[in-house]
Amino acid sequence: MKKINVNKVLHGILMLFCIAIVLSLSQGAEAVKFKVNSTDDIGDAFPGNGVCETASGNNICTLRAAVQEANAFAGADEIRLKAATYSLTLTGTGEDLAATGDLDITDSLTIKGKGAALTVVDGNHSDRVFHIIGPGPVVNFIALKVANGSLGAGDFAGGGIYNSGANVTVNSCTITNNVFYGQVGGGILSMNGNLKVVASRVIQNGIFYTGSAVAGGGIASLLDTSVKIIRTKVADNFAANIADTAATNDIAVGGGIAIEGTNTVKIKSCKILGNGAYAWTTDLYGASGAGLLMAEVPIANIIDTKIANNTCSGLMGYGGGVFALSANATFSGCLITENSILGGSGFGGGMYLEYGGGDPMTITITNQSSVTYNYAFSGGGIYVAPALIEFFTLNISADSVVANNLRNDIG
């Protein structure tokens, strides 16, 4: 009789047990696709069981239920939406589990619609629409419209999409009509993460406030690692400070886009049009960067982009088209035209440039760029602030044009 090696048998059993555990874990982390079949706003019956349904066995999957399941079920999941309007009617505040109010996303997820003209996620003017909570998640919004976000009492940021520390891509979407009484990011706010907006429209969003700074009517990026905005239209957004109070910094900046403290910025083949910054205050930088504001940005490349018809209004205005403070930026193949500073005194109808500290600042205008037909009280085309100018360099290539601005081309 052949002797059995007990040690080898036990080793084999242990190996099989480990393989089974690994397989079960890997299967648990596989992506799950949830197909939403209802436009109702009802939560999931049992988040985490892998089945999207509002009651046991009813097979009704709502957008809110799908988000709750995706949060609870590990892996980069996907939610498919039909051509319909999904209105958020389940009101409530103060929680981050997508149980009420905005749709909180805490795990990697792709939400895909049938096109921005067909699939609409509507905040119903009761709360913001999406809140992505990091760190860690990779979240993609594809082919849908995010509309009618409006924050609840005590909240201040991100009307349509609020990214807090995650990696977010907005692709082929429309972000529109997210308007609220708050401080940062009317359409999109991204903080401490990464943001990429591609082939999208960010239009007719806004924020208004009293007694503090207001920034980024369309898009705001604060302290991100990177932000990329590619082939996107950012138009008709606004940031407004509706009254001058005794408090300081009653300012409104970045009517279209406000970027502050972000490491790298790329804006390519975009249209930044008809945005506004409005502030009736005597504070420095009262209304600034109606089209684009960049502050404390080490590297920025703006390529083949049109910045036009943006307006600062109020008592003090700086940078109708572009406001750059301690930012190193290259404008290549860009058209900056017909931007203006209206109301009281204003500086830099096309561009306002100022060194405010830190590393030396360089602005380069090149590759057949043009700064034309802009208006301001001083520096209709470009205004360079005189303070600490020894740390500032402005390069304008021979093939670029700064001309036909009122009251003067360069101040």
pLDDT in tens, 331-381: 999 999 999 999 777 899 999 999 998 899 999 999 999 999 999 999 999
- Residue at 12 is within a domain: no
| Residues 385 and 336 placed together within one structural domain of the fold | yes
Residues 166 and 260 in one domain: no
Among 175, 208, 238, the domain boundary falls at 175
Residues 122 and 55 in one domain: yes
Can you give the pTM of this predicted structure? 0.91
CA–CA dist 165, 31 (Å, integer): 22
Query: Do residues 72 and 131 both lie within one domain?
Result: yes
Pick from 175, 209, 229: which residue ends a domain?
175
> 25 vs 208, which has greater pLDDT?
208
Name residue, tokens 């101040």.
411
- Domain that residue 110 falls in: 31-175
Comparing 29 with 87, which gets the higher pLDDT? 87
Asked whether residue 8 is domain-assigned, the answer is no
Asked if the structure places residue 94 within a domain, the reply is yes
- Residue 117 domain-assigned (yes or no): yes
| Residue 245 belongs to some domain of the structure | yes
pLDDT band at 264 (very low <50, low <70, confident <90, very high): very high
Shared domain for 335 and 232, answered yes or no, is yes
**Which run of H or E residues covers position 21?**
helix 6-28
Cα atoms found within 13 Å of the Cα of residue 99, Cβ hemisphere only:
9
Are residue 130 and residue 229 in the same domain, yes or no? no
Do both 134 and 247 map to the same domain?
A: no
What tens digit of pLDDT does each residue of 64-98 get? 999 999 999 888 999 999 999 999 999 987 789 99
Alpha-carbon span 224 to 131, nearest angstrom: 16
**Domain count of the chain?**
2
Task: Average the pLDDT over each of 175-184, 239-248, 386-395 and give the range with the smallest value.
Answer: 239-248
Tens of pLDDT, residue by residue over 181-236, are 888 999 999 999 999 999 999 999 999 888 788 999 999 999 999 999 999 999 99
Rounded CA separation 396/148 (Å): 42
Rg (the chain; Cα; Å): 25
199 and 217 in a single domain? The answer is yes
Of residues 100 and 73, more confidence is placed in: 100
What is the rounded average pLDDT for all residues in the chain?
90
pLDDT at 316: 84
Q: For the chain, how many residues are written?
A: 411
% of the chain at pLDDT higher than 70: 91
Q: Is residue 25 part of a domain?
A: no
Pinpoint the alpha helices (H) of 143-192.
none
Domain end, chosen from 116, 141, 175, is at 175
Question: Are 111 and 199 members of one domain?
Answer: no
**Residue 20, domain member (yes or no):** no
CA gap 213, 88 in Å, rounded:
29
Residues 227 and 375 in one domain: yes
Residue 393 domain flag: yes
Same domain, 286 and 232: yes
pLDDT at 322 exceeding the cut of 50: yes
218, 170: one domain: no
